[in-house]
A and B are shown apart, each in its own frame.
Chain A
Amino acid sequence: MISFEMPEKIQQTVTLMTMVAENMMRPVARHFDEHEHEIPWDYINFMHDANKQMGGGGFVPSSEKPKKSESGEPKKEGPRIGYQRLAYSAEVLSWGDTGLYLCSPVGLLGAAAVAATGTPEQKARFLTRFGGDKPVLDAMALTEPHAGSAMPAMVRTTAVRDGDTWVLNGEKIFVTAGHKALVDTQGFVVVWATIDPSAGRAGVRPFVVEAGTPGCAVTKLEHKLGIRASDTASVVLQDCRIPFENILGSPQVEKKTTEGFKGAMATFDASRPMVAASALGVARATLEMLKEFLAQKGITVRYGLPRSRMTNIERELIDMEVMLRSTWLLVLKSVWMMDEKKPNNLEASMGKVRAGDAVVKITQKAVELLGPVGYSREHLLEKWFRDAKINDLYEGTGQINRLIVARRMLGYGRTELS
């Protein structure tokens, strides 16, 4: 039955995360924007303690957690809402601050890849650490200097089997939280590499590289437009040797099919809705602040009017509200599908496209409408305008996600549409 009733448990998550956002994020958001690469330990430690107190499950949905039934069909006890809760957490924490949210030691993109594609043993090995004594961050390393969106197919980083180890060689860039995962904490990075360069996409697999592994080094930190609290690292792998069991997915290359590759790509079906949710947190923060500023000047929206009777500001605000809520529902549907174990590849990309568009448009409009107030660094609006843009770029640009939607819809593969 179609229903938009927020479950009690999600309501509690939202309340809790909102307190974190208001108390631990907003007050320091400007500081970490102006002190790029300074590490927000207070936030990291706080989140780690909070996560531990709540059982250490972190941001990995309980349905994907280790120790559950091996068959992947957990016993039925009420509806599964794990991914929906995660999306709400991402939204609220990004409402607090996206850069800080990306420093959450609770398992983000790397953990999502392990949760989506790992074996029960791998989940136990890599995911339990988020509930350990010290905070731990994770990261995902996909992009290489020569290729971004075309990446999985054009990977140059290699993984060569040597007995019961893999030897990795290559360079990764734009690794979100790479420094925190590999240097500042005992975390891990999920590195995409090919086990058979002649096999093209079919040979590409994600590997888990743990902090402290010899041959894995962070070589550079980027200076960015926004989300400056989050480090963006270059990672070089030089004869980096990892255990054989650190491969996610099948170690065999099936030449005729790309099943192994497709399985690995399932991680994006889980991660794109989270990026979209994060984007919409910024959009909501922006719209709320914009309305507050306008309300101080006695300007509020009159709902129900035809366009011929509206002011321009009313029209802009109503368009923003429509964009925000409708996109949120799209994202919510895509994570509901995850929880229901329905294929959500199309919906994940749809939500990602529209969330990227929505947050960019809303932050642009807010700065424009508030003129010198919007443009001033006295307020967070200009920061959100800068933070927002990343959402249309990472985890697949708006264009690559449009391509995915178009292919799905048209029933085309790469040969028909690229």
Chain B
Amino acid sequence: MYSFEPTEEQRMLIDAVQRYAINDLRNAAHDADESGELPQTLVEKGWELGVLQASVPEAYGGFGEHSAVTGVLAAEELAYGDPAGALAVMAPATYALPVLLAGSEAQKAALLPPVIGDTWKPYTAAFIEPDFDFYAGDMRTKARKEGQGFVIDGVKAMVPFADRAQGMVTYAALDGKPQAFVLPPKAEGVTVGEREKLLGLGALPAYRVQFESVRLGQEAWLGSSPTNDAAPLIAASHVATAALAVGLSRAAHLYALNYAKEREVFGAPIAQKQSIAFMLAEMAIEIEAIRLLVWEAAWLLDTGKDAARAAYLALSGAADMAMMVTDRAVQVLGGHGYIREHPVERWYRTGRGIPTFPGLAMV
């Protein structure tokens, strides 16, 4: 049976996350983007909302069950506040959820409790590679079997908190298929390079990371058999990124809408002109349609059905939506949209990154 209504529990979570997103993340976003630093207290406060903790069963230190739909609803709200802040708060999920979803019982018991503590800790994942045609199905970072373990070589880009990571999941191709591996902190052969300078996400400290003959034991591999590749994790990441795009687009749309009702031209608010009103209407329609596509993909993930294609399509639609909506948000503000006092130029820069961001978030 179809339903488009979150549960009471989800509604409460959404409300709490939204309050934090608007009152905390949004207010800090401008300065954080300019200075390149998110206040630690801000991230801690986001962590206390318990989004990830609620996705991890009690046995591993959490207090709930994993649900991609709930994850999507929360990610949407966080990104509505500030996508960079959202990625910082959710970074530990890119480490914990692959363990939870693909790990063995022993891996879960050993690796999850340290992450799911009272405080936010820098756990992260290395996914993206620095090539124009980077494709998760054809990674240039390679893993090969050696003895009882693996050896990893390659370069990863845009790894959040890599300089201080207490644990890192890294993705590499093993026999041509993407696989996830867990790295301990300061593993030998791992070199954290310069902090990345990016078009957007200025507040998120992300680094280039090099892997040179990094030797890992069998227990580092998150997969019970060679056919068990990282595809479901990649799908979860596509959906998470698409949810960020929805939240970001909702923010840009509402900001432009409110501006259009205030700003006057020829004696009337610009929102009263069809050229502006229709742009705003089309933005809203686009967001609503793609949002449902993202929800459906998340729901498919939760049912355990093959969600890879739906997740990919959701991300594809979300990427176009984010670009369309953020571009128009800047346009509605006219010259003022180009000034960094208003957040729309920041969302415009962030919106362009959506197709590149998978790997930075997970639901």
Using a CB–CB cutoff of 8 Å, the interface residues on chain A facing chain B are: 1-7, 79, 81, 84, 303-309, 318-319, 321-323, 325-327, 329-330, 332-333, 336-337, 347, 350, 353-354, 399, 402-403, 405-407, 409-410, 412, 416-417
Contacts and interface: CB of A to CB of B under 8 A. Distances in A.
Using C-beta atoms within 8 Å of the partner chain, give the interface range for chain B: 35 or more
A309 B234 CA distance: 18
For the complex of A and B, 10 pairs with smallest distance between CB atoms: A329-B292, A406-B277, A322-B317, A326-B289, A405-B281, A406-B281, A326-B293, A308-B133, A330-B289, A350-B285
Q: Which of A1, A84, A303 has the most CB of B within 10 A?
A: A1
B4 A409 contact: no
B299 interface: yes
Given A2-B6, A304-B136, A319-B320, 8 more contacts: A2-B7, A4-B2, A306-B135, A318-B316, A322-B290, A329-B296, A332-B2, A410-B261
B137 A307 contact: no
Query: Taking chain A's interface residues, is the majority helix, strand, or loop, or is none over half, making it mixed?
Result: helix
A304 B257 CA distance: 34
Nearest to B131: A308
Contacts of B69: 2
Given A2-B3, A79-B1, A329 B289 contact: yes
Nearest to B2: A336
B192 interface: no
Contact of A322 (B285, B293, B300): B293
A314 to B, nearest CB: 11
B135 A417 contact: no
Contacts of A304: 135-137, 234, 308-309, 312
Contacts of A84: 2
Contacts, number: 138
Contacts of A416: 272
Interface in B266-290: 271-272, 274, 277-278, 280-282, 284-286, 288-290
A341 to B, nearest CB: 13
Contacts of B313: 303, 318, 321-322, 325
A79 B4 CA distance: 13
A1 B7 contact: yes
Contacts of A318: 313, 316
A255 B278 CA distance: 31
Interface of B: 1-7, 10, 69, 132-137, 234, 257, 260-261, 271-272, 274, 277-278, 280-282, 284-286, 288-290, 292-293, 295-296, 299-300, 303, 308-309, 312-314, 316-317, 320, 355
Q: Which of B6, B317, B355 has the most CB of A within 10 A?
A: B317
B290 to A, nearest CB: 5
Contacts of B281: 353, 402-403, 405-406, 409
B285 A405 contact: yes
A1 B3 contact: yes
29 contacts: A2-B3, A2-B10, A4-B295, A5-B303, A7-B1, A303-B312, A303-B313, A304-B135, A306-B135, A308-B133, A319-B320, A322-B320, A326-B293, A329-B289, A329-B292, A330-B285, A336-B2, A347-B288, A350-B288, A353-B281, A354-B289, A402-B277, A405-B284, A406-B281, A409-B280, A409-B284, A410-B257, A412-B272, A417-B272
Q: Which of A4, A323, A412 has the most CB of B within 10 A?
A: A4
Query: Taking chain B's interface residues, is the majority helix, strand, or loop, or is none over half, making it mixed?
Result: helix
A325 B289 CA distance: 9
A84 B3 CA distance: 11
A305 B135 contact: yes
B295 A2 contact: yes
Contact of A350 (B2, B234, B284, B309): B284
Contacts of B274: 403, 406, 417
Q: Which of A321, A322, A327, A350 has the most CB of B within 10 A?
A: A322
A323 B285 CA distance: 12
Q: Which of B6, B271, B278, B316 has the most CB of A within 10 A?
A: B316
B272 A3 contact: no
A336 B288 contact: no
A417 B271 contact: yes
A152 to B, nearest CB: 20
B275 to A, nearest CB: 11
Contacts of A407: 277
A25 to B, nearest CB: 26
Contacts of B271: 410, 412, 417
A51 B184 CA distance: 67
B292 A330 contact: yes
Contacts of B10: 2
A405 B277 CA distance: 9
Contacts of A325: 293, 296, 313
A236 B114 CA distance: 79
